[in-house]
Amino acid sequence: MNILGLDDDELISCVGCGLCLPHCPTYRVTGLEIASPRGRIAAMRAVETGVAPIDAPFVDAMQECVQCRGCEAACPSGVPFGHLMEDTRAALELNAASRPTALAARVRRGLEWIGYRVVLPNHRVLIALSWLLLVAQRLHLVPKRFGPQRFGPPLLTRSSLMTKLDVSSGALGDAWLFTGCVMDAWQRPTHLAALQVLQATGLRVAVPGRGGDCCGALHEHAGRRAEAQHLARKVMQSMPGDAPIVVDSAGCGAALKQYGRLLGTEAATDFSRRVFDFSEFVVQRGVPATRATGRTVVVQDPCHLRHVQKSHMAVRSLLSDGYELVDTDDDGLCCGAGGAYSVLQPDLSREIAMRKSAALRAAGADRPGVLVCSANPGCAMQLTQAGFSVQHPAELLRDALKEGPR
């Protein structure tokens, strides 16, 4: 029996000790074994060996996972839970039995198809839709249920959408700044800050040429592997040469760093070696001189920066001269944003966000003048909507530069 096609050695490497439980956001808010990594692995084993069928509870249990991979970092045996979950979702995506039959669920599946196939990979469509959304927000046409206060898309601004990155696209520079899909539409000022910091270190920066519109992370997390692979190839083509690739979105950076596994080619592995998180890259290059701002910043570690890229400490080196840094006391527990998770599993996402908010408040993040820093666009949106003043490390560093941006 090999129904899900999982790697047998990966699957048996869980000894069931349970040390992952407190690091799992869905277990923390539900207390259910099936919402824990250990329970999910047990369920995968049961399906894989034919003991249990692929049924709705199994599909739900797999889809409720945020894929934060906090369990992986906590696992003494190094169980590659991320692989297991991605492979399981890819198998479910191909399995007709796991498809919903009810009308509402099929409509939802159709909408997801449009999102994954039409909007995310086509940047012009995404930008056009963002302008439409901005207009709708201004005209108060967006129902409260989907408004910025209720974990919907953020409140868009004209100046944000109009921000220009004045660098060559597709031409060779000393480094690439990967811009991506949603972040480039909704948070372009962050890209601008990253660009200014990189330029302050004396680099000529280029952004990807046409085709490198989306890294495919959301597709891979959803089990849409063929689409993820297609997007990965396009991203690789959009940034040729040997120049390092700087990514200011922790989720995208983690995805780019894993192209080697996704595509299984030497070219992809070589490409992944060129990828750096923004903070990681700037720290390696030498942080430009900063002045002490006297401001306090509570550091939020995006899961894919901390648990997947394992480069979260760089943010602290980056900002420690300019800011008073405070850590949360929750071992980097997830905020529940999880890429598309906040849209696909809104109830669980909100409960997880409430837990994260409590940890941030305990660290003083709700005090006047205190900022939260987050290196991932999804987390930033989630925490902004929870009421915190959130900035990207690139923005914080840019604002503390002694020389100021050119």
Q: Provide the binding-site residues for other proteins, judged by CB under 8 A.
A: 12-15, 17-22, 31-33, 38, 75-79, 329
Residue with smaller CB distance to other proteins, 22 or 170? 22
Q: Least distance in Å: CB of 330 to other proteins?
A: 9
Q: Least distance in Å: CB of 18 to other proteins?
A: 4
- 325 near 316, Cβ under 8 Å? yes
Residue type for position 171: A
What is the maximal distance between C-alpha atoms in the chain? 65
Alpha-carbon distance of 401 to 202, in angstroms, equals 14
Residue with smaller CB distance to other proteins, 17 or 105? 17
Residue with smaller CB distance to other proteins, 20 or 283? 20
Q: Least distance in Å: CB of 4 to other proteins?
A: 18
DSSP letter string, 40-56: HHHHHHHHHTTSS---H
Residue with smaller CB distance to other proteins, 356 or 398? 356
The DSSP H or E segment spanning 286 is: none
Residue with smaller CB distance to other proteins, 13 or 199? 13
Q: Least distance in Å: CB of 17 to other proteins?
A: 4
Closest C-alpha to 297, from 216, 373, 225, 245: 373
Alpha-carbon distance of 27 to 124, in angstroms, equals 39
- 355 near 373, Cβ under 8 Å? no
| Continuous H helices in 139-224 | 158-162, 182-186, 188-200, 217-221
Alpha-carbon distance of 208 to 240, in angstroms, equals 9
Residue with smaller CB distance to other proteins, 43 or 337? 43
Residue with smaller CB distance to other proteins, 33 or 93? 33
Alpha-carbon distance of 226 to 220, in angstroms, equals 8
Closest C-alpha to 302, from 397, 387, 373: 373
Residue with smaller CB distance to other proteins, 313 or 344? 313
Q: Least distance in Å: CB of 392 to other proteins?
A: 27
Q: Least distance in Å: CB of 19 to other proteins?
A: 5
Residue with smaller CB distance to other proteins, 13 or 157? 13
Residue with smaller CB distance to other proteins, 29 or 337? 29
- 338 near 68, Cβ under 8 Å? yes
* Count of other CB atoms within 10 angstroms of residue 121: 19
Q: For the chain, report the end-to-end CA distance as a whole number of angstroms.
A: 62
Residue with smaller CB distance to other proteins, 77 or 168? 77
Q: Least distance in Å: CB of 371 to other proteins?
A: 23
Residue type for position 336: G
Q: What is the dihedral of CA 142, 145, 150, 154, to 10 degrees?
A: -20
Residue type for position 156: L
Q: Least distance in Å: CB of 327 to other proteins?
A: 12
Q: Least distance in Å: CB of 77 to other proteins?
A: 3
| Continuous H helices in 206-288 | 217-221, 225-238, 250-257, 259-263, 266-273, 278-285
Q: Least distance in Å: CB of 36 to other proteins?
A: 9
- 346 near 382, Cβ under 8 Å? no
- 219 near 86, Cβ under 8 Å? no
Q: Least distance in Å: CB of 9 to other proteins?
A: 8
